[in-house]
Structure 1
Amino acid sequence: MRIRHLRYFLVVAEELSFSRAAARVHIEPSPLSRAIKELETELGVCLFQRTRGRIQLTWAGEVFREEAHRMLTFMEGARSRVHAAARGFHGRLRIGLADSLAQPRLTRLLACCREEEPLTEVRVIEMTVKEMVNALRHDQIDAGFTVHTELSNGFVKEVVWTDRPVIAIPKNHPLLSLDQIPLQEVARHSLILCHPELCSGGYDVIRRWFSEYTLPLPSTTQYVSGHEPMMMLVAAGYGIGLGLESQITLYNHPEVIIRPVTNDVPSAATFITILDQPPSEELGRFIARAQQVGNAITV
């Protein structure tokens, strides 16, 4: 089984068209079709159902798509590790980053890792919570950061730091008459939030806040891909933004004012998540450093 055949298969599975897939991989449709046939012959199964010029994945094809992703990820990881060894690294950590958690504390943590353990390569991969869970199960990452409060069995979560909720408010908005914003007041206005799928952890936290006060999310809520477009829409007057202080304050805008939520709304914890098994020595030290960074901020 050749690596390029796996890549060809994944492109065809995505496009469901040999002509479009061939254009993407820069070969003619006929040799691409032959490569897929060779792959099916080697596996002894039919990966695609071909009817009247249309193709669809069979159930075997659906299963093989997941396995092909795993094999390519493994090969890319092996290549990366070999290259890291050639550059002098003696260890590695693969860290998943969900919920758009690019914040100063992570910067400080990664800087500590470079200073205290320079021979360990740390790779950071952005992903959704769902992708993080699958990556942990398939040994594609060693740990992941998320604010999601619920994960399935088989995982261990460690709190590394906490964050206060804040509101992003456009200039001249009536809420600016308040020093701290009650959640009941927030519920009266149009909200701009990060998307529930792209940032499911952050959405989970906000949903829980509203649920504790038996408040519905406003029907006029808009969802965006991240905090930068959130601030753009807030500045334009489309609504108010709600999120975590460390995230929203990264995207200062001259037309947006940041105000804290009242203290009765709880802080949100950021978790580092690993499989429920003893961590490696390198990962154990990484978790300890993360908690030290969190303690240094909160004390």
Structure 2
Amino acid sequence: MKYFLIVAEELSFVRAAARVHIEPSPLSRTIKELENQLGVQLLHRSKGRIRLTWPGEVFREEARRIIAVIDSAKTKVISAAQGFHGRLRIGLADSLAPPRLTMLLARYREEEPRTEVRIVEMTVTEMLNGLSHGVIDIGFTVDHTSLPGFVKDPIWADRPAIVIPKNHPLLSFETIPISEALRYPLILCHPERCAGGYNAIRRLFGDPALPSLSVAEYASSHESMMMLVAAGYGIGIGLETQIALYRNPNVVVREMGDGVPSSVTYAVTMREERSRELEGFINRAIAIGEIPRPAGLVTL
């Protein structure tokens, strides 16, 4: 099944074989044996090109779920053997690394030492798939868009800020109006690798303004954005707490004007009943954040 998933990703036996360090021919035979066992055709093969059949697409999702369950069982057993009595798997989207997250993890480790915590960075799409397939228990994102089937808890808020190179004309403003920022090339969050940040920018500027934006470059993290701004490629827009982690002597940070709203970080989980470890973790996150928890859960 793992071989099949890699072939389904690459849609090439040559590239897939290189990833698993075997020759293309035995890999192709392995997938053919899998098709014989299932009694269905998973792949269309035509002139060296392959694509998934509809049964292949269905099996891809089932294979992901089955492998996630098996991997989960393995890690649970290993954690138990190491003395842990609980486990919490966290997905971080949008390259989030705010100081409050550090405080949260430190407090949770101090108060729940027998719960193992694992963290993985991922895109918003990967986070939602990970939650759906049980690969992670909770995800963090700044994506404000509706996520049907998931529960979103607002955890904390951050102020957006503008990062500009030294000696830039915008330095004449103490707070920078959005209308002035739009006059210059922008470095924005990547629409796929940092979808939450990109959607936050869409909300900030409004969808009608997006086509007219002058985008110098897309960045997948605040760190790469700061680097590009320092190099003079354009001005960047990010979160104050994140920007503070990557201070650069060649850039200046200014507040945004026009009553720009704060950006909210959400904890995202599935609708199912949450475990004691997960509920306790979310409660600690809310206690550290600046947003009071609403009555009941926010289900979208």
Q: How does 1:112-131 map to 2 (within 5 A)?
A: 112-131=107-126
Asked whether the 8 Å contact 2:95–2:220 carries over to 1, the reply is: no
Q: Distance in 1 between matches of 2:204 and 2:222?
A: 19
The secondary structure found in structure 1 opposite 2:154 is strand
Q: TM-score, normalised by structure 1?
A: 0.90
Residue identity opposite 1:190 in structure 2: P
Q: Which runs of 5+ in 2 are unaligned?
A: 292-300
Return the match for 2:65 from 70, 93, 104. Answer: 70
**1:169 to 1:11, Cα distance in 2 relative to 1, 3 A:** same
Deviations 1:118-162 (A, max 9, x none): 101111121222222222222222211111112232222211110
Q: Distance in 1 between matches of 2:175 and 2:22?
A: 61
**1:167 to 1:274, Cα distance in 2 relative to 1, 3 A:** same
Map of 1:3 onto structure 2: none
Return the match for 1:132 from 127, 132, 135. Answer: 127
Asked whether the 8 Å contact 1:93–1:282 carries over to 2, the reply is: yes
Map of 1:33 onto structure 2: 28
Residue identity opposite 2:150 in structure 1: F
Map of 2:189 onto structure 1: 194
Return the match for 2:176 from 176, 181, 204. Answer: 181
Q: Distance in 2 between matches of 1:48 and 1:215?
A: 43
Return the match for 2:46 from 41, 51, 73. Answer: 51
CA drift of 1:241 comes to 0.3
Q: How does 1:100-119 map to 2 (within 5 A)?
A: 100-119=95-114
Report the number of matched residues.
290
CA drift of 1:215 comes to 4.6
Map of 2:7 onto structure 1: 12
Q: Distance in 2 between matches of 1:62 and 1:276?
A: 25
Deviations 1:74-112 (A, max 9, x none): 222221221111111000111111111112111110111
Q: Which runs of 5+ in 1 are unaligned?
A: 1-5
Deviations 1:44-101 (A, max 9, x none): 1011222334333222122222222222222222212211111110001111111111
Map of 2:213 onto structure 1: 219
CA drift of 1:217 comes to 6.2
Deviations 1:177-226 (A, max 9, x none): 222111121111111011011111111112112129x7556532121222
Residues 1:22 and 2:24 are matched in the alignment? no
Is the deviation greater in 64-73 or in 236-245?
Answer: 64-73
**1:26 to 1:136, Cα distance in 2 relative to 1, 3 A:** closer
Segments ≥4 residues shifted beyond 4 Å: 214-218
CA drift of 1:263 comes to 6.4
Map of 2:246 onto structure 1: 251
Return the match for 2:167 from 163, 168, 172. Answer: 172
Q: TM-score, normalised by structure 2?
A: 0.90
Q: Distance in 1 between matches of 2:185 and 2:64?
A: 40
Map of 2:267 onto structure 1: 272
Asked whether the 8 Å contact 2:65–2:133 carries over to 1, the reply is: yes
Deviations 1:236-295 (A, max 9, x none): 111100011111221111101111112611111111112223321111110110011114
Residue identity opposite 1:177 in structure 2: S
